[in-house]
Structure 1
Amino acid sequence: MDRVQSGAAAAPVHYTQIAKENMKLRSLLFATAVLCSSSAHPARAQDGDGTLMLAQPAVSADRIAFAYAGDLWIAGIDGSAPRRLTSHIGVEFNPRFSPDGEWIAFSGEYDGNTDVFLVPSDGGVPARLTWHPSADIVQGFTTDGSAVLFASGRNAYTGRHQQLFTISTGGGHPDQLPIPHAFKATYSPDGSKIAYTPLYEAFTQWKNYRGGTTTRIWIYDVTDHSVVQVPQPEGRSNDTDPMWIGDRVYFRSDRDGEFNVHSYDTGTGDVARITEHEDFPVLSASAGAGRIVYEQAGRLHLLDPGSGVSAPVPVRIAADLVEVRPRYASGDNFARDASLSPSGTRPESGLVAGRRVDRLVLRRFGRVSAVCGSAGGGRGAAQLRSGRRRVLRRSVVVARRHEDQLYGQLQGGVLDRPRVGTDPPRGRRPAVWSHAPAQPRMVARLPLARLHPQQRDEHPHRLRSPARDR
């Protein structure tokens, strides 16, 4: 029944990895913004338009839950009185209100694994509901609120797909739904149908993706197991985050460019666009109590489906976020590359490179030998030899990345810039040092295809000596 022809697409990435990386990226960006602003004044989380970088919202009749700075928060429907709901060091995401608004289900990393948790919306200790090693991603509740709907790859034959399960709010063994594979899902108000996306979201890695695994929404009938697909334009589109209100399925779609909220009438089959955002896409939309809440441009917006009018919700948060305060940290946790001397016989010549936020730290068997500040963070280290003389006493060679250029720098003052500076598609490769006895040069190991045309005759994948460049 649920056979999908998939063409060439980006390699599938597990939803948990995507969610965690997104949350870590948001936390890092938030910390960077606050640290930059705190150089002269203490960080202030409140402004006239409210706090930014609020994500993955959920809505009930009188409250909004959302993710911020790696934790879950809850506020009034108008954004008033926000308070932290969870505080664990792990990532918590995908909050969903129960139909009566008394409980919030979410996915969290409380015990070294991503599982389903349940917490009172008034606050309390989260209760763990699932215990399988596979990641369990909360989707919502059943219509009567007695069970939590979640997606998991625990029974899938491949990491490319996930399946739907329900788990009682009192715990127990999960029940698998008779749908071959699903990524996101929601129940209809009467529980007779399920709107779901069968495939992972390739557009998270490839904006405006239109390949064979474009995200689509299927409506599954619980009684006869039939499936109806929400119509898409001729050139395909990515439709996701299904939300069921009345006889309409609301969803996010990039069929007109940026993601906006659209609706599908299950009776007539008509698709209509609801929101008109052109600057930034609509993200992480969910529905509850007849309303839709979504993230757009870092802010939360509340949408009235009946009138089609949406308005930002100003949430002002003032919190003691430990991630953004200046502190000491061990550089050992940020080691990136390692390189010994060419012979490996002299322990003094062993170098290890570590990155501490924005610095490259050269270590000699546990002792810091040199620290070089860098705007983009250090990347790569290798031993340099000049004849039989060890170079690691007063003059230290450091490798530094600055913006999109790689440099070789002697502490004595000679600076050489190789003629490579493009950014490779899969990140920069570790830099290497020439072993020529003359003036040393560093070259970057970058893909030939990304070089400028006039640079392709000088393939950077080999070691280059000064004589070769002349």
Structure 2
Amino acid sequence: MSMKSVRRLGIFALALVASSTALADELIGARWLSLSPDGSRLAFSYQGDIWVAPASGGKAVRITDNIEMDDRPVWSPDGSKIAFQSDRFGNFDVFVVGADGGKPKRVTWFSGNDVPYSWDADGKSITLIRTFDNGYRSVVTLDTETLGLKSLFSDQMPIDAPQASPEGDKVLYGRFGFPWQRPRYQGSAAEQLWLFDKKTGKRTEVRSNGYQHLWPNITKSGIYAITMTDPVASSSTLTKSVGKVTFTVGGTPNVYKIDAKGSAKRLTNFAGDGARFLAASRDGSLLAFERDGSVYTLKPGGEPVKVTLTANLDDKISTEENVVLTEGAEAATLSPDGSTIVFSAGSEIWSVPVKKGEGPNRDDAVRWSEWEGVDSAPIYTPDGKGVFFTSDREGALMLYRLDLATKKAVRVSTESASVENLQLTPDRKSLAYQQYGPNGGIYTVPVEGGKPTQVVKRPGRANLEYSFSPDGKYVAFVEILEGSGLYYWDSGNNVFVQEL
């Protein structure tokens, strides 16, 4: 083979590598992190499966692939195996799989839930929590070879995350506490840190100060956990506002190193979004955690390093949903050219053609909004290229304009107050709406964009039914006469006409 041919093959190979790399997606949202004993590899849960990647970042490999949930991976001391929990048989059981993949081996058959948290120093036993029907939780060791179980201790109080020490003589665990979704909880029920001595059976409190201590890890170099040191503003009654909350570093869940006497040293200095899913290598030389969807590593004494994980991802289930709308449509309006109807259903904005088309999708409606809250009361712009609607995506039910070409929604009303009763003015140059609150009343805003103008002032009033005169010079509205009836629904009405 000539050198020229070799060079061509080399270029082709490089092109294939570049293409393969380009196909890999950045992986956002890794959970339940676990570092290999030497800190070189990272296991985690994503899309309901267990994945492994270099701890320094790079391509992740899926090592389990099941339609049910696989999570909470835990490395064996020699780094050859990973234990994890899965509900593929109904409740959560413990499974073991090779660190490079393979067929998982089921090792528990309990009718309740078994959750693995760490491997013991002997390399064959797993420390797990077993939850019974009466709510009691027991910390149990499981021999993965004989499948024999040994109960270490039980507690009437919630217990969490038992971590066998590298020497194998103690178990660090959390006691009391709320779930990890409430990391900023403060109070007597906050998660405490305790140590269980396997030889004596004695349990000793390590740290309890009214703050949550989550994802504890015990290593050869000490104890690590995620906690806080400063209180966060809270309200004791539903009617009392806490105002704007600014999270300090001390009031944000950060990574701390905790000594045997319970003293804590902060290792990260995040403010706002906190650290989660803390993991540590066996010798404590490397920590890993998740924050705001991204993975970070940290060498104690150093600064956090953001790690980029990539993977060739595919959706495990279809991302498209066929929804049959047979009822619940409301606030329907016809497009200016009469070809489509826009309406709200299920708190989302839809449109449907007036005339049936051809083909298998001739009756399909088009969904224009996918906000998790409420989108309602749609009305076409005069040119038919947009839709005005109300939405609570910024708190109150405010006015927005949706561009049908880009599906981009832009807020129109300027105050944080709910609006309703949308209608076009007779000249179709402005949109009118009613606004509630201290500056309540009837407003108009140019359909081509501009600042809303209050045309009728009615602070704090209830529903105002209103209508414009054909020439647009007057607006008539109905207002309830307060106190005119024994009950609100017995009240009388007055009709007002106001010149614009």
Q: TM-score, normalised by structure 2?
A: 0.57
In structure 2, the partner of 1:190 is 167
1:329 to 321, 343, 350: 321
Q: Residue 263 in 1 paired to residue 261 in 2? A: no
The RMSD of aligned alpha carbons is: 4.5
Residues 285-434 of structure 1: pairs in structure 2 closer than 5 A: 285-290=278-283, 291-305=286-300, 308-312=301-305, 314-322=307-315, 328-331=320-323, 373-377=368-372, 401-403=391-393, 404-405=395-396, 419=436
Higher strand fraction (1 or 2):
2
CA distance in 2, matches of 1:216, 1:194: 14
Which letter does structure 2 place at the counterpart of 1:265? D
Q: SS of the counterpart of 1:183?
A: strand
- 1:253 counterpart letter in structure 2: T
Q: Give the 3 Å change call, closer, same or farther, for CA 468–416 of structure 1 in structure 2.
A: farther
* RCO comparison, higher one (Cα < 8 Å, 6+): 1
Q: CA deviation at 1:77?
A: 3.2
Residues 219 and 129 of structure 1, relative CA distance in 2, 3 Å threshold? same
Equivalent residue number for residue 175 of structure 1: 150
- Please state how far the C-alpha of 1:101 moved relative to its aligned partner: 0.5
Q: Matched residue of 1:243: which SS?
A: strand
Which structure has the greater CA radius of gyration?
Answer: 2
Counterpart residue number, 1:342:
none
Q: Is the 8 A contact 1:46 1:316 kept in 2?
A: no
**How far apart are 1:244 and its partner, in Å?**
1.3
Question: How many positions carry a matched residue from both structures?
Answer: 348
In the alignment, which of 132, 156, 163 is matched to residue 110 of structure 2?
132
Is the CA contact 1:85–1:123 (under 8 Å) kept in the aligned structure 2?
yes
Q: 1:466 to 1:91 in 2, by over 3 A?
A: farther
> Residue 34 of structure 2 aligns with which residue?
58
Whole-Å Cα distance in 2 between the matches of residues 408 and 369 of structure 1?
28
Residue 199 of structure 1 aligns with which residue? 176
1:101 counterpart letter in structure 2: G
Any residues of structure 2 matched to 1:14-29 within 5 Å, and which? none
Distance in 2 between residues matched to 1:174 and 1:411, nearest whole Å: 70
Matches of 2:59 and 2:149 in 1, distance apart? 36
Report deviation, 1:169: 1.9
- The CA deviation string for residues 415-469 of structure 1, in whole angstroms up to 9 with x for no partner, is 976849xxxxxxxxxxxxxxxxx99xxxxxxxxxxxxxxxxx9xxxx99999699
Q: Which moved more, 1:294-303 or 1:118-127?
A: 294-303
Distance in structure 2 (CA, Å) of the matches to 1:251 and 1:120: 28
TM-score by length of 1: 0.61
Q: Which residue of 2 aligns with 1:248?
A: 222
SS of the residue 1:132 aligns to: coil
State whether structure 2 residue 84 is matched by structure 1 residue 89: no
8 Å Cα contact 2:24-2:312 kept in structure 1:
no
Residue type at the aligned position of 2:212:
N
